[in-house]
Amino acid sequence: MAKYNTLLYYCYSTIADAEQFAADHLKFCKSLGLTGRIIVADEGLNGTVSGTPEACRAYMDAVHADERFAATDFKIDEVDEPSFVKMHVRYKSEIVHSGLRDPNIINPNERTGKHLEPAEFMAMKDDEDVVVLDVRSNYEHSVGKFKNAVTLDIENFRDFPAMIDQLAQYKDKKILTYCTGGIKCEKASALLLHEGFENVYQLHGGIIKYGKEVGGKDFEGKCYVFDNRLTVDVNSVNPEVISTCRNCGKITPKMINCANPECNEHFTQCDECGTQLEGCCSTTCQSHPRKRVYDGTGYYVKVPQPINTSKKNKVQLVQE
C-alpha cells in the first residue's frame, strides 16, 4: 500500500476576502503536514496537495464541510512519496489564467459545457459528428493526448481565446473538450458557447478521472501533471508512447524541465541525451553558469520569492 496520496481538485465558488482565505488556508494545510500548490482567487480554488492518507482525508473532509466547496471532486492518486517538497498557497486573479475576467462572458457557475462522465465521453468521442478538443498547452499535449484529438498551438491557456477563429470550422460539430483535471474546460467551453458554438461538452474530471474510471482507453502517451512527477500513466487498456526526444528523435515518454533555470522549458528527452546534455535542452543551456545539477528526474524545486498577493501591491510572502 502506498504511503501517501496526491489530491487534484478545483472548485468554482465565490470566496469573500480571498486574500485572507489564502493566508489562513496555508496555515491549515501546514497544520496537516501537507505539501502542494494551491491557487486561491475570488472565483474559487485550484489545487494539488500531497500527504499521508490520513492528512489527505482530513483535508478533503474540511473542504467538503465548507458549503462553498461541498461539491468539490477530488481525484486521488496513491504515491510512494509526496509529490511536492513544500506547501504553497497563492492568491491570484484567476484560478486558471485565461485573461477572461468579465463574468458576463465567462462564469462557469452560470454557463459551461455539458459535463460528460468518463464512460459517456468514451462512448461519444469516436462519433462522426464529434470533434475532441484538447484545450491544454503545447508541452502538455506533446507528451500525451487522445487519439485523433484536435490540439492547439498555444504556450499557455491564456492563448486559448485567440484560437476561436481557427475553431470556427467545427461549429456544426459536437465539441468534446478535455484537459488534465477539468478546470480549463470550464472556461474553454463557456467561451465556445459565448462565441456561438451550440453543442459543447467537457470531460468531467479530465484525463485523470478518465484513466481511473474507464482505464484511459485511446489516451496516447502520458498525462502531464503540475508536480514533481511531471507525467503520470493514464492508459491501461491500449497504451502507446507518442512523444519523442527533442534532441535525437528517439521515442521516449520522459518529460523534464531544462536544467538552465533561465530557460526552464518543459520538453521530452531520452535518458541518453539527458545524461549527455546534463538535463539541458541544448548545449547553450548546458554551458549556462547557473545550470542546476541534473539528477535524472528533470524536476527542480523553485526557490521561494516574494510575490505580490495584494490588490494594493503590498508584497507579502505566502510560501516558506
Q: What is the pLDDT of residue 300?
A: 83
For residue 223, what pLDDT is reported?
Answer: 97
Classify 114-223 by CATH class.
alpha beta
Q: What's the confidence (pLDDT) of residue 220?
A: 98
Give residue 45's pLDDT: 97
Q: How does pLDDT run across 153-203, given as a tens digit for each residue?
A: 999 999 999 999 999 999 999 999 999 999 999 999 999 999 999 999 999
Nearest to 266 by CA among 279, 283, 252, 249: 279
pLDDT (tens digit, 9 = 90+) per residue, 117-145? Answer: 999 999 999 999 999 999 999 999 999 99
Supply the pLDDT for residue 206.
Answer: 97
Average pLDDT estimate for 282-308: 80
253-280 b/e with 16+ CB inside 10 Å = b? Answer: bbbbbbbbeebeebbbbbeebbeebebb
In terms of C-beta distances under 8 Å and separation of at least 24 residues, what long-range contacts does 277-283 make, across chains too? 277/247, 281/246, 281/247
Q: Is 297 exposed, middle or buried (0-12, 13-18, 19+ CB in 10 A)?
A: middle
- The confidence band for 25, taking pLDDT boundaries of 50, 70 and 90, is very high
Is residue 316's pLDDT more than 80? no
- CATH T-level topology, domain 4-95: Alpha-Beta Plaits (3.30.70)
Torsion of CA 50, 54, 58, 63, to 10 degrees: 40
Dihedral sign from CA coordinates of 159, 301, 50, 76: positive
Q: Which residue has the cell 452560470?
A: 110
Rounded Cα gap, residues 270 and 296, in angstroms: 10
What mean pLDDT, rounded, does the chain reach?
A: 91
Return the pLDDT at 249. 97
Residue ranges per domain, the chain? 4-95, 114-223, 243-298
What percent of the chain is predicted at pLDDT more than 90?
A: 86
Long-range contacts of 197-201 (CB under 8 A, 24+ apart): 197/167, 197/170, 197/171, 198/171, 199/173, 199/174, 199/175, 200/113, 200/114, 200/174, 200/175, 201/113, 201/114, 201/115, 201/116, 201/121, 201/124, 201/174, 201/175, 201/176, 201/177
Grid coordinates in use for 299?
Answer: 524536476
Side chain identity at residue 211, one-letter code: G
**Residue 309 scores a pLDDT above 60:** no
Cβ(224)–Cβ(230) below 8 Å: yes
* Average pLDDT value for residue range 74-90: 95
Q: How many CB atoms lie within 10 A of CB 90?
A: 16
Residue 147 is predicted with a pLDDT of: 97
Residue labelled with grid coordinates 481525484: 75
- At 291 the pLDDT is 95
Q: Report whether pLDDT(315) > 50.
A: no
Positions annotated as catalytic residues are: 179
Residue 304 has pLDDT above 50, yes or no: no
Residue 314, pLDDT above cutoff 60: no
State residue 258's pLDDT score.
95
